[in-house]
Amino acid sequence: MSSFSKKVHIFFKEQLEEWYLAAKNYEALKQVKTKTFHYGDFDVKVQFNPARLISGSAKTDPQSIRERKCFLCPANRPAEQRSLPFGENYLILVNPYPIFPVHLTIPELNHVNQRIHGRFADMLAIAEALPDFVVFYNGPKSGASAPDHMHFQAGNKGFLPLEKDLQFVEKETLFVHKNTQLYILKNYLRNIFVIESQKKEDVIDVFEKIEAMLPLKEGDQEPMMNIVVWYDADTWTTCIMPRQQHRPSCFFAEGEENLLISPGSVDLGGVIITPREKDFEKITAATINTIFKEVCVTDDIIEMVKQKMDH
């Protein structure tokens, strides 16, 4: 464990001792119901997590955002929520509504829009400083509940199925250069690019190339995406999950068809969060397949990147 990781674990423990709400929610997390669907080479889990009801159903349209107080700004954070600085621009906070047994929110100091452009290097630096965590980014229309305040999140390693799926799922290599490779996962229900590299500059270079190729929707500032990064034995692994929809059709459906599921990095990483028990009971392997298909990009986008990467 890095020395910074040690510091973060001590900070986490202290926060649970002094902050009742966080302690209660982490205790409740130990009892949450989960179920697992098997799809050949990999699994997808479902977690019934009632504490996530607020963020899972959060209104993130510009008007609702303007009318609420930003929960990542110091003036509105709970008095018990302390912070640990990371570098010049970021703070480490304990997420009081956890999905992971150790779940951090990492906002920028200032209230600036959620944008990955120009900050991906920061994400790699956070992953390197916290090698026992996965670090993730939800785009402003891809699962972020505070699209107006830049933040990453981190959760302890060993929780997201995606981490180990990379070893077992069939891959197609798109690009190899020295110590860097770019590949996609085959038959994985969702289209994901993976960059593995020992050189930070190369990861950034490949990431920025893909970022520039992905479709940009009218009025948006960046291509819709989720990103999961981790660092292990001198290697950065970056999973880019490009998106075509913010929320799946079941989120908007009426009656029996309605499921309150608003996917972000964690869901696409293999743990679907259902804040309501009836949705947890109702969800099937086929529903998960449909949700992934609806929110992730189609094969033609992957093909387009592949073609352009060849040149």
Least separation, in Å, of the C-beta of 168 and Zn ion?
A: 40
* Nearest partner of 171 among 158, 150, 187, judged by Cα: 187
Q: Should residue 199 be labelled a site residue for Zn ion when binding is judged by CB under 5 A?
A: no
Q: Should residue 73 be labelled a site residue for Zn ion when binding is judged by CB under 5 A?
A: yes
Q: Should residue 70 be labelled a site residue for Zn ion when binding is judged by CB under 5 A?
A: yes
Least separation, in Å, of the C-beta of 61 and Zn ion?
A: 17
Which segment (65-73, 188-196, 203-211, 234-242) binds Zn ion by CB under 5 A? Answer: 65-73
Paired tokens of 190 = 């969702």
Which segment (146-154, 161-169, 176-184, 207-215) binds Zn ion by CB under 5 A? Answer: 146-154
Least separation, in Å, of the C-beta of 148 and Zn ion?
A: 6
Residues 259-298 that bind Zn ion (CB under 5 A): none
Residue number closest to Zn ion, CB atom = 70
Paired tokens of 284 = 């099937």
Residues 83-142 that bind Zn ion (CB under 5 A): 111
Spatial distance between the Cα atoms of 195 and 218, rounded to a whole number of angstroms: 28
Which segment (34-42, 128-136, 144-152, 182-190) binds Zn ion by CB under 5 A? Answer: 144-152
Least separation, in Å, of the C-beta of 245 and Zn ion?
A: 26
Rg over alpha carbons for the chain, rounded to the nearest Å, is 19
Least separation, in Å, of the C-beta of 153 and Zn ion?
A: 15
Compare residues 72 and 288 and give the one whose CB is closer to Zn ion.
72
Q: Should residue 58 be labelled a site residue for Zn ion when binding is judged by CB under 5 A?
A: no
Q: Scanning the structure block, which residue is given the tokens 């590299």? A: 197
Spatial distance between the Cα atoms of 51 and 39, rounded to a whole number of angstroms: 28
Least separation, in Å, of the C-beta of 138 and Zn ion?
A: 16
Which segment (49-57, 73-81, 157-165, 208-216) binds Zn ion by CB under 5 A? Answer: 73-81
Which segment (3-11, 53-61, 72-80, 221-229) binds Zn ion by CB under 5 A? Answer: 72-80
* Given 119, 149, 151, 190, the residue binding Zn ion (CB under 5 A): 149
Least separation, in Å, of the C-beta of 222 and Zn ion?
A: 18
| Site residues (vs Zn ion, CB under 5 A) | 70, 72-73, 111, 149
